[in-house]
Amino acid sequence: MNPILRATGITRRYGERIGCADIGFDLYPGEVMGIVGESGSGKSTLLNCLAGQLTPDAGSILFDSAQQGVCDLLTLSEMQRRTLARTELAFVHQNPRDGLRMSVSAGGNVGERLMGVGARHYANIREQALSWLERVEIPADRIDDRPSQFSGGMQQRLQIARNLVTGPRLVFMDEPTGGLDVSVQARLLDLLRGLVRQMGLSAIVVTHDLAVVRLLADRILVMKDGQVIEAGLTDQVLDDPHHAYTQLLVASVLQA
Amino acid sequence: MTAMLKISGVSKSFTLHNQAGVKIPVMSEAHLSVSAGECIALVGPSGAGKSTLMRMAYGNYLVDAGEIWVGDVCLSSASPRDILMLRRQTLGYVSQFLRVVPRVPTTEVVAEPLLALGVEREVAHERAITLLKALNIPQRLWSLSPMTFSGGEQQRVNIARGFIHTYPVLLLDEPTASLDAENRAVVLSLIEQARARGAAILGIFHDEAAREQVCTGEIDVSQFL
């Protein structure tokens, strides 16, 4: 099996400071990879470079596209990149406001992604939007409400529906459960796990929450000062950490 | 007989970087092998490294030296992806503690290993229910999350999850520890059935009578220190 994403030598500097340095990994279809580290460790810089929100200074990101074959996301034309971003890639932001259109109805938010890939039949679009709202547990009678009238947890679920409706193959997630109540977090995690398995998604999840990464990710990268200092199977890295910083991270988690 | 699980020359120590870099040696030159149809008990005083050895055999701890083979895969040098595949198909583990996503119903927790293998939902759930019944988990609890269950109930959910797929290699960490006599007998018979179908089993049993009943051999881990 070929990797769906192969990153090599990803480097991004902010002036003199290092955002992330010389990072490489392979991600295989159906795999969920977590990136952990404290704020400032470079995990969001890396995610944004991978997802095309930030241009790295060096490196290559080979994506095995279903439509275009293996292509380097960093050298694609703007149009090809946008097509991929609408179809095969998706990005779930920490703050749902960054991933939703707040002045458009919930149904419209989901429908817009579908129209972006060429859907035109109104009844079909509405039907698919409804079925996705149901999958993410948003009541059907809220379809015409705007996300601004939703709770934080509902907004996050709507953002997930909007991203997954077009059946992407690789999803980037930045702290998908950050800022939510624990009770809402648990439900969202279960939803994400189910969707990843049903749709055979590959995903890269950035989080500082080790409990989230343990439940969601198959393997993890631990970052500090822009470098990957430890990597491996999630439970192995968390239960038998070798690097001093990873040991500190794991030992610092409060027991509920 | 071919060994399904083979541990050779395995050494392990822990370095605690944040506690003055203390290095704690746990074992050196550990070796054992378990063939199909065998059930080998790890024995030795607590702290001898029984659980550490089990965790290394599951890929949960890294080895410092030596090799661990499961079937024809070298687990100790396999990639995360290969270890996950091995765990899905070949290598089952019943730990002492249940770790699950909050709010997921018990039937789903138990059925999950089969669902991950692509078994149909209905078949997986039916098998889960058969096991829950056999292990005397009352029907009114099936749709609830096991997180609120008693210790003994959680352990039985863990056992159901570990026995739902016919893993060729099974690791059992104190499977009868907090069970009453009736459920203990059920678990022992599950172990005997697994052995009879040809599973290679490595376990920790503090319960001596249980060990006598189901194990075909024992290995004293303290010799590896």
Report residue B75: phi and psi, to 5°.
Answer: -60, -40
DSSP-derived secondary structure for B96-160: SS----TT--HHHHHHHHHHHTT--HHHHHHHHHHHHHHTT--GGGTTS-GGGS-HHHHHHHHHH
pLDDT tens digits along B90-104: 999 998 888 887 788
- Which chain A residues are within 8 Å of B17, Cβ to Cβ? 243-244, 247-248
Does A126 map to a domain?
no
Does A130 map to a domain?
no
- Dist. CA B103–CA A187, nearest whole Å: 7
Would you list which residues of chain A are within 8 Å, Cβ to Cβ, of chain B? 28, 31, 186-187, 189-190, 193, 197, 215, 218-219, 232-236, 239-240, 242-244, 247-248, 251
Q: Tell me what the mean pLDDT of segment B127-147 comes to.
A: 96
What residues contact A127, with CB distance under 8 A and at least 6 apart?
none
Beta bridge partners of B42: B219
* CB nearest to B61's CB, from A190, A240, A248: A240
- Give the per-residue pLDDT at A185: 79
- Give the per-residue pLDDT at A3: 95
- Which chain A residues are within 8 Å of B80, Cβ to Cβ? 218-219, 232-234, 236
Q: With an 8 Å Cβ cutoff, are A218 and B17 in contact?
A: no
Identify the band that residue B1 occupies on the pLDDT scale cut at 50, 70 and 90: low
How many interface pairs between A and B have CB atoms less than 8 angstroms apart? 52
Q: With an 8 Å Cβ cutoff, are B80 and A242 in contact?
A: no
- Give the per-residue pLDDT at A50: 95
Answer whether A20's CB lies under 8 Å from A13's CB: no
Q: What percent of chain A has pLDDT over 70?
A: 99
ipTM of the assembly? 0.92
pLDDT tens digits along B36-88: 999 999 999 988 999 999 999 999 999 999 999 999 999 999 999 999 999 99
Does A10 map to a domain?
yes
Identify which of A97, A216, A106 has the alpha carbon closest to the alpha carbon of residue A161.
A106
Does A113 map to a domain?
no
- Which chain A residues are within 8 Å of B59, Cβ to Cβ? 233, 236
Amino acid B73 reads V
* CB nearest to A236's CB, from B14, B59, B101: B59
Q: Could you tell me the residue range of the domain that residue A174 belongs to?
A: 5-104+170-255
Secondary structure element (H or E) that encloses residue A71, with its range: strand A69-72
Q: With an 8 Å Cβ cutoff, are B104 and A197 in contact?
A: no
- Which chain B residues are within 8 Å of A248, Cβ to Cβ? 17-18
Report residue B188: phi and psi, to 5°.
Answer: -60, -35
With 60 as the cut, is the pLDDT of residue A256 above it? Answer: no
With 80 as the cut, is the pLDDT of residue B4 above it? Answer: yes
Secondary structure element (H or E) that encloses residue B89, with its range: helix B80-89
Does A120 map to a domain?
no
DSSP-derived secondary structure for A116-132: HTT---HHHHHHHHHHH
- Give the per-residue pLDDT at A181: 76
- What CATH number corresponds to the domain at position A78? 3.40.50.300
What residues contact A25, with CB distance under 8 A and at least 6 apart?
A6, A7, A33, A221, A228, A231
Secondary structure element (H or E) that encloses residue A246, with its range: helix A244-251
Looking at the structure of chain A, the number of domains it has is 1
pLDDT tens digits along A119-171: 888 999 999 999 999 988 899 999 999 999 999 889 999 999 999 999 899 99
- Dist. CA A131–CA A79, nearest whole Å: 30
Does A16 map to a domain?
yes
pLDDT tens digits along A8-40: 999 999 999 999 999 999 999 999 999 999 888
Secondary structure element (H or E) that encloses residue A163, with its range: helix A152-164
Answer whether A245's CB lies under 8 Å from A224's CB: yes
Q: Tell me what the mean pLDDT of segment A194-204 comes to.
A: 87
Identify the band that residue B178 occupies on the pLDDT scale cut at 50, 70 and 90: confident
With 80 as the cut, is the pLDDT of residue A187 above it? Answer: no
- Dist. CA A149–CA B65, nearest whole Å: 58
Minimal Cα–Cα distance from B10 to chain A, Å?
A: 16
- The pair of structure tokens assigned to A166 is 């077009």
Answer whether B92's CB lies under 8 Å from B169's CB: yes
Q: Which of A172-176, A191-195, B18-22, B217-221 has the lowest mean pLDDT?
A: A191-195
Four-point Cα dihedral B123, B129, B132, B137, nearest 10: 160
With 90 as the cut, is the pLDDT of residue A96 above it? Answer: yes
- Give the per-residue pLDDT at A252: 85
Does A225 map to a domain?
yes
With 80 as the cut, is the pLDDT of residue A255 above it? Answer: no
Does A177 map to a domain?
yes
Report residue A229: phi and psi, to 5°.
Answer: -100, -20
